[in-house]
Amino acid sequence: MKQLLHLLIRFGLILSGFLFIFNLPLIVGIGENSIEIHFKLFWDVVKSDLQFLLQIKDAMYLGYIKELDIAGSYQYTMTILIVSLVSIILIAMVVAIFIMLSPEKLKDRLKSGINFFEAVPDLLVIFLFQFFVITLYRATGLKFLQLYGVFGEKPYFVPIVTVSFLPLFLLLQFLLQVITEEQNQLYVHYAKAKGIGRLRILLVHMIRNVFPLIVLQLRTVIWVLLSNIYLVEFMFNINGFTRQFEKIIYRGGDFASLIACLLMLSLPLMVMEAAGWLISKRIKGKEVVSL
């Protein structure tokens, strides 16, 4: 019973936090020369929003969202997200293994090269790719890389590469750091002393132990990917999911649609979080057993 109450309180808090955050512009109104604060208006709007949310049976409920091409665009955006996520993981793993196996001097140089990418702003990467595609088109006259999403076209290749460029280095940096730390573990020394090869230790033993950490880190990767996708879809004029979201905001769509859209957008993050929670629980459980 107490747990149920606690859960209710939590749910209420999350909802009220949501309402508060998205109605903040109403509290801090702008006057001619000063910032004005009106709580009354804010309270009224919050109340009406809440009422709106509770009228699930109304035919108008989520009516706005039904007009838009939600399913198709959502599929498109999620395809980009998932394809880039999978390719990031694969490429980062392979590159990390190669870097770890390379000689010391080269390794240090490569590591500092990767660290350099930490500072590159995402817009610069997007612009550089755009520049590259345009020059390629100008030089060859062949349009084999679709860039803009005009006339309802949905390009895949360029957005995926653009979006996953920086997160790749983010994950790679993390992987290298984690594996380097793992190398000082006792079991690695033991395996080395037993005469097991470097590649085998890395592939069979260390990757397996590092894996949970990677899953936890993937949350950040998805976060960066999502905001990059948002930027890219806007800049390349692609009719993706974030476009629908924009339409809802610009045309004054209702609050329920906004919530639904945001929920759909943050769904992959929640899935990742759940996976991370499960894995960490499993590991902790194991530790308890082993103790």
> Binding residues for other proteins, per CB under 8 A?
9-10, 13-14, 16-18, 20-22, 24-25, 28, 30-35, 115, 118-124, 127, 130-131, 134, 223, 226-227, 230-231, 234-235, 245, 249-250, 258, 262, 265-266, 269-270
Contact criterion met (CB below 8 Å) for 118 and 174:
no
CA quadruple 222, 227, 231, 237: dihedral sign:
positive
Report, in this order, helix, strand and coil percent for the chain, each rounded to 5: 80, 0, 20
What would the two tokens of residue 17 be? Answer: 């936090």
Q: Which residue has the tokens 């709580």?
A: 39
Q: How far is the CB of 204 from other proteins (least distance, A)?
A: 30
Q: How far is the CB of 94 from other proteins (least distance, A)?
A: 27
Which one, 94 or 128, has the nearer CB to other proteins?
A: 128
Contact criterion met (CB below 8 Å) for 148 and 236:
yes
Q: How far is the CB of 106 from other proteins (least distance, A)?
A: 22
Tell me whether residue 278 is exposed, middle or buried, using C-beta atoms within 10 angstroms of its C-beta: 0 to 12, 13 to 18, 19 or more.
Answer: exposed
Which one, 35 or 288, has the nearer CB to other proteins?
A: 35
Contact criterion met (CB below 8 Å) for 271 and 181:
no
Which one, 82 or 101, has the nearer CB to other proteins?
A: 82
Q: How far is the CB of 16 from other proteins (least distance, A)?
A: 7
Which one, 69 or 246, has the nearer CB to other proteins?
A: 246
Q: How far is the CB of 126 from other proteins (least distance, A)?
A: 9
Which one, 27 or 161, has the nearer CB to other proteins?
A: 27
From 258, 198, 243, select the one nearest 65 (Cα to Cα): 258
CA dist 214 to 56, 177, 210, 256, Å?
40, 11, 7, 35
Q: Which residue has the tokens 């107490």?
A: 2
Q: How far is the CB of 119 from other proteins (least distance, A)?
A: 4
Which one, 60 or 123, has the nearer CB to other proteins?
A: 123
